[in-house]
C-alpha cells in the first residue's frame, strides 16, 4: 500500500479545500512520471524496435496527451491573454507578424494558419518588405 501513496499525494485541509489541488498535484505527478520514467524507457524500446525495421527513428515521435482538459472559459482566458501579449510585443517591435503566425500555426489555433501559410507569408514579405 505504501508504494501507491506517492501517486496520490496529501489532501489539503481547511474549510476551502475543494480537492482541486489534489487533482492538480496528481496530474503534475503523472506528467512528471510520463516524462522522466516512461519516456526514457519507451525511447529505448523504440530505438531497438525501429532499428530492426524500415522506419526512420528521426521521423518517429509520440506525445502524452494532457490529463486535464481546459474548459472553454479557461481556454478563452488563455487565448485573450496570449493575444494581448502578442499585441504588446508587436507594438513594441519585439516580434513581428511572422512570429505570431508561426506561434498560431504551431498551436493549431486557426485551421487556415498552417506551416504552408506561414511559409507563403514569409516569402511574400521577403519580396515586399513593406508588406
Does residue 14 or residue 113 have the better pLDDT? 113
**Domain parsing of the chain, residue ranges:** 2-59, 72-127
Do residues 64 and 34 make contact, with C-beta atoms less than 8 angstroms apart? yes
Of the chain, the percentage scoring pLDDT greater than 70 comes to 79
- The SS3 call for residue 39 is helix
The whole-angstrom separation of Cα 36 and Cα 33 is 5
Nearest to residue 67, comparing CAs of 36, 40, 34? 34
The whole-angstrom separation of Cα 86 and Cα 50 is 41
Q: What is the pLDDT of residues 62-88, one digit of tens each?
A: 788 888 888 899 999 999 999 999 999
pLDDT at 53: 77
Amino acid at each position: 500500500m505504501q508504494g501507491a501513496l506517492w501517486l496520490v499525494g496529501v489532501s489539503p485541509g481547511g474549510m476551502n479545500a475543494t480537492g482541486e489541488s489534489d487533482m492538480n498535484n496528481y496530474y503534475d505527478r503523472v506528467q512528471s512520471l510520463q516524462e522522466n520514467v516512461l519516456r526514457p524507457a519507451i525511447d529505448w524500446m523504440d530505438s531497438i524496435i525501429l532499428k530492426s525495421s524500415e522506419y526512420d527513428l528521426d521521423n518517429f515521435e509520440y506525445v502524452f496527451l494532457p490529463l486535464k482538459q481546459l474548459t472553454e472559459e479557461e481556454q478563452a482566458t488563455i487565448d485573450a491573454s496570449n493575444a494581448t501579449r502578442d499585441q504588446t510585443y508587436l507594438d513594441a517591435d519585439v516580434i513581428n507578424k511572422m512570429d505570431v503566425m508561426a506561434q498560431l500555426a504551431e498551436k493549431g489555433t486557426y485551421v487556415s494558419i498552417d506551416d504552408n501559410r506561414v511559409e507563403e507569408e514569409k516569402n511574400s514579405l521577403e519580396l515586399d518588405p513593406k508588406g
